C-alpha cells in the first residue's frame, strides 16, 4: 500500500469528492493561490477555478456565507486558517449553523464542512496554538472529527463531505507532514467509530489527534517495564464511541483520558463522567485525566513544552494507577 502524507490524503479526499459532486466548492484564506498554509490544497491548485477561491480576512462573512450556500443545496468546505480564529466568526457557527436543522424541523439541511489546523506548534504563541474542540462539543447541533493519521483523515473527510449535517474537522498542525498507508481504492470511515490503535490489558488510554501518537510512544516505553496500555483513538468527538471505551475498561479496569486541550473542563471530563456513570463497577482505580495546563500557550519553547502534555505525562499517570 502506498504511503502519503496527512496533507496529501486530505487534499485527495476533497479532490475526489469535488470531481464526483459539482455542488462541492471550497474557500478560505490563502487556499486558491497558495494551496493552504500547510499544503492541504496543493493537489487542487489550477483545478476547479470557479469552485476554489481565496477570501478576505472576514470570518463572520466566511462562515455566514457558507451557511447560506448550504441552505440552498450547495456543499461548502471552508478552511478556517487556524482553529483559534473560529472565535472571530462564532456567532454564525453557534447561533445559526449549529441550530438551523433543529429550528426547521430537519428541513434546513446543512451540507457544510469547516476544517483547518489546530493545536500547538513551534512557538506559535497564545493566538495560534489552541485546541478548542471542547467548546463546540458542548453546544448541540454540529459533529466533530479529529483524525490522527493520513488513513483516517481521508476516510473521515469523504464521509463528512457526503453528510447532511454540519461538521468541524480539526487537523493538528504537527500531523500534516506525517506519512502513513492510504489505499488507492475508495473507502469511508463512519463517524462515531473509534479504533483500537494498540491492544493491551492493564490500562485503557483514550485520546485523539497528536496525543494518540504520544500515547503509542508511552505504551512502547511502558511495555519494557511490563505495563500494557490499550490505546483507543476516538477519531470523532461528536458522536464519540462510548461502547468501544466501555468494553476496553471492562477488560483493563483502568482508564486514562489524554488530550492536548486544557485539562480544566476539557472533553476528557465528559468521557470520564460517562465511564464513571456507566462502567463504575469495572474500575479498580480513579480515572486519570491528562491535558494542557490551564494557561494561554506561551511563546517561549521551554514554557510551551512545560504547558503541553506528552508521553511522559501518560507514563507518570499509568504508573500511579498501578501503584508503581
User: d(Cα 176, Cα 128) in Å, to the nearest integer?
Assistant: 16
Mean pLDDT by 10 residues, the chain (324 residues): 95 95 93 83 87 90 93 94 89 91 87 94 84 94 97 98 95 96 97 98 98 98 98 98 98 98 96 98 98 93 94 97 92
Instruction: Report which secondary-structure segment, H or E, holds 115.
Output: strand 113-118
Nearest CA to 119 among 110, 108, 130? 130
pLDDT of residue 117: 94
User: d(Cα 101, Cα 148) in Å, to the nearest integer?
Assistant: 29
Domains of the chain: residue spans and CATH: 3-181 (3.40.50.970), 195-321 (3.40.50.920)
Backbone angles phi, psi at 11, to 5 degrees: -60, -35
In 127-247 the beta strands, taken as DSSP E runs, fall at 143-145, 167-172, 179-181, 195-198, 203-207, 229-233, 236-238
Angle between helices 150-161 and 6-20 (to 10 degrees): 20
pLDDT of residue 126: 84
Residues in the chain: 324
pLDDT of residue 197: 98
User: d(Cα 324, Cα 318) in Å, to the nearest integer?
Assistant: 9
Omega before residue 167 within 30° of 0, cis? no
Active-site residues, by number, are 128
Amino acid at each position: 500500500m502506498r504511503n502519503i502524507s496527512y496533507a496529501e490524503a486530505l487534499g485527495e479526499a476533497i479532490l475526489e469528492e469535488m470531481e464526483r459532486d459539482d455542488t462541492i466548492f471550497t474557500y478560505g484564506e490563502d487556499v486558491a493561490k497558495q494551496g493552504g498554509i500547510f499544503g492541504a490544497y496543493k493537489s487542487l491548485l489550477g483545478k476547479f477555478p470557479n469552485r476554489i477561491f481565496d477570501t478576505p480576512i472576514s470570518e463572520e462573512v466566511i462562515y455566514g456565507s457558507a451557511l447560506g450556500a448550504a441552505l440552498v443545496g450547495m456543499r461548502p468546505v471552508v478552511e478556517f486558517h487556524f482553529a483559534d480564529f473560529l472565535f472571530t466568526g462564532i456567532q454564525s457557527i453557534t447561533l445559526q449553523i449549529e441550530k438551523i436543522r433543529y429550528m426547521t424541523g430537519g428541513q434546513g439541511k446543512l451540507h457544510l464542512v469547516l476544517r483547518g489546523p489546530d493545536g500547538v506548534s513551534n512557538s506559535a504563541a497564545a493566538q495560534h496554538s489552541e485546541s478548542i474542540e471542547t467548546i463546540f462539543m458542548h453546544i448541540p447541533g454540529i459533529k466533530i472529527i479529529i483524525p490522527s493519521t493520513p488513513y483516517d483523515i481521508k476516510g473521515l473527510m469523504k464521509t463528512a463531505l457526503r453528510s447532511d449535517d454540519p461538521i468541524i474537522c480539526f487537523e493538528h498542525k504537527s500531523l500534516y507532514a506525517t506519512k502513513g498507508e492510504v489505499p488507492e481504492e475508495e473507502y469511508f470511515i463512519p463517524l462515531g467509530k473509534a479504533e483500537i490503535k494498540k491492544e493491551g490489558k492493564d490500562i485503557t488510554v483514550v485520546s485523539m489527534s497528536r496525543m494518540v501518537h504520544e500515547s503509542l510512544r508511552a505504551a512502547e516505553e511502558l511495555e519494557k517495564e511490563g505495563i500494557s496500555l490499550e490505546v483507543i483513538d476516538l477519531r470523532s468527538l461528536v458522536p464519540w464511541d462510548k461502547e468501544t471505551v466501555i468494553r476496553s475498561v471492562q477488560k483493563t479496569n483502568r482508564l486514562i483520558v489524554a488530550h492536548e486541550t486544557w485539562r480544566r473542563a476539557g472533553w476528557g471530563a465528559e468521557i470520564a463522567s460517562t465511564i464513571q456513570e456507566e462502567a463504575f463497577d469495572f474500575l479498580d482505580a480513579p480515572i486519570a485525566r491528562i491535558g494542557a495546563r490551564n494557561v494561554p500557550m506561551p511563546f517561549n519553547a521551554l514554557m510551551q513544552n512545560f504547558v503541553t502534555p506528552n508521553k511522559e505525562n501518560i507514563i507518570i499517570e499509568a504508573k500511579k494507577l498501578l501503584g508503581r
